[in-house]
Structure formats: structure tokens, C-alpha cells
Structure 1
Amino acid sequence: MSETAPTAPEGASLHAPVARLLRPLVRLFVARGITFPALTNLLRELYVNVAEYDFALPGKEQTDSRVSLLTGIHRKEVRRLRGAGAPVSAVPVAVSRTSRIVARWLADPAFTDRAGRPSPLPRSAEGGAASFESLVAGVTRDLRPRAVLDEWLDRGFATIDPEGRIVLTESAYVPKGGGEPQLYYFGRNLHDHIAASVANIVGDTPPFLERAVHYDGLSEDLAKRLEARAREIAMEALQQANREAHAACETDPGGSHRWNFGLYVYAESVPPAASGDPA
């Protein structure tokens, strides 16, 4: 009589990579006071929501029993949590306004120099010449350019040079401080990166580009030099993509699709004992 080795539960192969993926998130949760019970409640709601909307059978109404079967959550809990609607990620007004103005300043040839860098802009100019006022007015007429400038100066997004021109600072590219803008991009960018990776795993053919260049066992000096150079390469790629997307949008009729092109650079010191599974 032959014995068959027990098969691993379905999904067991995901345990290790998911644990590694969640570790920095759990670090954030603990730092920001999101307790395990609070996270459990959130995950319960998400499980029900995903099963209800993403795993519905074509032409059939999703039932409490099927959602319970898919998620392992009791039917009473499923019944209580269903019907909330698919979550919608609304873009904060401040984020949308700032990102659109910055994107135009970085992409529109009228507001960049010959090397493609954002030009210092006078507050106003006559005859249609490029200025901070014309930059803002080209994106939104709901706000006075002076109000936008005051906000940007206060947040360090812009400075004023000795000639009185407005200069875009690097901090305008990356919101900081853990406020609403930074947390919005935290959720958006990580969602899109993970969504692309998941689509590549569950799809018949990998539909999205998702690649990384990585080296281990480096000296601290080389790791820092590679990080600095990677930042330069990444910014060049992002600026080029922004210029081409901005130009293409000028003639696009518009629709329901969105596109995101993201890059990240990461480096850390890994203890030898943990080299196989860095935190």
C-alpha cells in the first residue's frame, strides 16, 4: 500500500511572500496606532467586499452563502457587511490641483528650459508670456494664482529667487510629513504596484511590466552611490514619461481609463542572519 504525501493547503505558497509584503505595513500600523482588532475588522470588510464584487459569477446574483464560502466569514457577518459598495478612492482636491500644476510645469515646453527643466517663472507677464499666473490659469480658474503661490511657499513647494521669480523645488514632487497628500499617494502607488503584480500572477500571460534590478552583499559606499544614481535615472524617466503623456493628452478625447507609471528605489543594511528574508 503506497502512501501519498499530504498536499499543502491551497494558497500556502503565498504565506512567506505575503508575510514579507505585510511586515513593513504592520510596522506602519503599530507606529500609527492601528491595532490588530482594528485591522481585523477592516480585513473582514474587505474580504466581503472583494468576494461580493470581484468574484461574482456572470449573469448570477451573488449570494451570502457564496461570499461566506469564498471568505470563510460567517453568513450573519456577511449579511451585515454586504452592500456597502465597491470602495472609491477619491483624489483630495489639494492633491489633484497641486499635481496637475506641477505636471504642467514639468512637461509643457512653454514652462521649461531647453534641457526640459522647470523654468523660474515671473509672477505675471504681459502678452501671453509664460508666468506663474498663466501656469495656474491653464489648469484651474477656480483659485487665484496668488493663493496657490502662498500655499506653495508655506509648504516649501516653491521659493522666490533674488530676481523675484518663482522656482519649483524638488519637494513639490514628493509630498512629505504623513499628511493627506502623502497618504493618498501611499495608497494609490502601492495599490497599483501590487495590483500589477497580482494581475501578472493570476493572469494567463503577464499583462504588466514589473521588473527590478537588485544586488546583494554590497558595501555601504556602493549602495549609497547606486541609490543616488538610481534616483537620477528614475527622475529622468519620470520626467520624460510626463512630457510625452502631457503632450498626448492635448489631443486625447478622454475616457474612463487611467494610467500610472511608477518607480521606486530602496536600499538597506541586512544582518547576515536575515540575509535570506530582509525586513
Structure 2
Amino acid sequence: MKRTKLAAMSDPTDRPEPTDAASPQAASLHAPVARLLRPLVRLFVARGITFPALTNLLRELYVNVAEYDFALACKEQTDSRVSLLTGIHRKEVRRLRGAGAPVSEVPGVVSRTSRIIARWIAAPEFTDGQGRPLPLPRLAEEAGPSFEALVAGVTRDVRPRAVLDEWLDRGLAVLDDQGRVVLLEGAYLPRGGGEPQFSCFSRNLHDHVAAAVENIMGEAPRFLERAVHYDGLSQTLAEQLEARACEIAMDALRQANAEAHAACIDDPGGTHRWNFGIYVFREETPPAITPPAPVATA
């Protein structure tokens, strides 16, 4: 006798939400999104972020974005609508709503160091005639700039000596033969894969992607987002162009920083932020694979 297995009756609300086939607009995004995510997936695998862990994070983000960014004016956002927008089951939506997006704040040491360096390479009293950061005496003197005055102009929560010890340890600055503090880098570039580096990584990559998405979703492009791109170059020329692009980029960043620093002096302050970033990338691309020609068979 054949046995039949009867499925237990369940609450209709427990059944998975129906999933529609991808729309033409969604399908057109598959290839560019895959290319966009590939370097991130390399980072995830290298750092031990597994696919299930990433899935949990994406589920939270989907619910949060649908709840807040796609709310209807003068109408309460419901679990059903969030579920419809995201394809996530209503029970999961109900559990995740209100949890907030998992966004980390910028570590205090990152913000403080960036502001001090930005002032050092922008303020006229701390730069020479060519706009280069001056070597600074450690302690304030009767006249002239000092490292102590530089730090005190940004924060009084940390002693200048503590900042100097941290910078010397991390290789951001050195002492010359006169005991003056010399900045080794024109911009704060944290390394080592720690929290400071990841904070800069998330901010800069987020802002670049956010600008590009805004340009796609808006009625007209709102942000400048351009690139100069050449293929089929020799390694020598590619390296030369990379070096020259870095020079041009740093000149632009220094000028933007100097003008922004000067403008902030008379600005009353508010709730807006601004980020001006430049990237340079070079890689060796594999040769295109030509599919074999079809062979006729008898």
C-alpha cells in the first residue's frame, strides 16, 4: 500500500510571499551590480563574512530602506507594503522594523586626525608660500605657529602631546633635527585594515555610489561623476598615467581643502556635509577570449 504524506495545515500568513519575475529594469541591473559587488565579495571572503551573514545584513538593510526611504506621504508605512517592496516575509518585516540601519559612526580618532591634518595643509599660518605644510615647533611660542596651537585650534579634549605620540607611533609625522614636527603625508591614509581604515573606506565608497545612484534615479544628473578611461595600454604607459593622475588629483584635493577651510571660517554652520573625492585605478585585463568558429560536420 502506498503511503501518502499529508502536509500540515498552516496559517495562510505563514506562507512565503509570491515572488514575481524580475522586471526589465531589474534585469538590466544584474550585470553592472555583479561587477560592482565583485571586489566587495573578495573583501567579504577574505575577512570571513560568510554568505549567510551577508544575507542577514542585506535583509535588515532592505527592510530599513523600504521603511524610511519609500514611505508614502501622510500615510503610515505597513508591514505588508514593506514586504511587497522587498520580497521579505511579513513576519520577518515585523521583527526587523524599527531596528534601524546598521550604520557605524566615524571613530573619534579618525575624525580628529583628519581635521587636524586638513587644517595643517590648508590654513595659511601653517603652510609656506607654495601651500606645503610647515615643520612646526612642538610648543607654542610667543610668535609663530606650533603643533600645540594646531591641535588646540581643532580640539581641546586631547592634549597635543598625546596626539603627537600617536602620530609618531603611526608614522604620520616625524621630528626633524631641530625637534620640529614634520607631517609625512598630505592626507590621512589609515592602513592595516582596522577601524580607521574601514571608516574611510565606507564613507568614500558610500558617497561615490550614492552620487551615482542619485544621478540614475533623479530626473536629471545632480552630482558630478566622471572618469577618464583608456584600454589596451602598455604597462609602462599605464604606470605613467597613474603617477600623473595622482599628481593632478592631489593638486585638486589640496586646492579644494584650502578653499573649503577658508570658507568655513565665516560659515554659521548647519546640518549639511560635503565630500569631494577622486580615485585612480589601474589593472591588467585578461585578453578577450574569441569563441571558436563553428565546425561543419557531415
TM exceeding 0.5: yes
The C-alpha deviation readout for 1:50-73, integer Å capped at 9, x for no partner, is 000000001111000000000000
SS at match of 2:82: helix
The C-alpha deviation readout for 1:147-181, integer Å capped at 9, x for no partner, is 10000000000011112111101275211111111
- 1:144-183 to 2 correspondences below 5 Å: 144-170=159-185, 173-183=188-198
Task: Show the counterpart of 1:84.
Answer: 99
**Structure 2: gaps (5+ residues):** 1-20, 291-298
User: Contact conserved, 1:158 with 1:172, CA < 8 A, in 2?
Assistant: no
Is residue 52 of structure 1 aligned with residue 67 of structure 2? yes
User: Contact conserved, 2:136 with 2:181, CA < 8 A, in 1?
Assistant: yes
Write out the 4+ residue segments of structure 1 that deviate beyond 3 Å after TM superposition.
Answer: 6-10, 86-89
Is residue 136 of structure 1 aligned with residue 151 of structure 2? yes
* 1:257 aligned residue (259, 272, 297): 272
User: Contact conserved, 2:113 with 2:188, CA < 8 A, in 1?
Assistant: no
Task: Show the counterpart of 2:258.
Answer: 243
Q: C-alpha root-mean-square deviation of aligned residues, in Å?
A: 1.7
Q: Once the two structures are aligned, what percentage of the paired residues are identical?
A: 77
CA distance in 2, matches of 1:252, 1:91: 23
Which has more helix, going by share of residues?
1
Task: Show the counterpart of 1:233.
Answer: 248
CA distance in 1, matches of 2:166, 2:221: 43
SS at match of 1:10: helix
User: Contact conserved, 2:189 with 2:197, CA < 8 A, in 1?
Assistant: yes
The C-alpha deviation readout for 1:22-72, integer Å capped at 9, x for no partner, is 000000000000000100110011000000000000111100000000000
* 2:35 aligned residue (1, 20, 41): 20
The C-alpha deviation readout for 1:227-267, integer Å capped at 9, x for no partner, is 00111100000010000000000000000000000000000
TM-score normalised per structure 1: 0.93
The C-alpha deviation readout for 1:207-235, integer Å capped at 9, x for no partner, is 00000001000000000010001111000
**Structure 1: gaps (5+ residues):** 1-5
Task: Show the counterpart of 1:3.
Answer: none
TM-score normalised per structure 2: 0.88
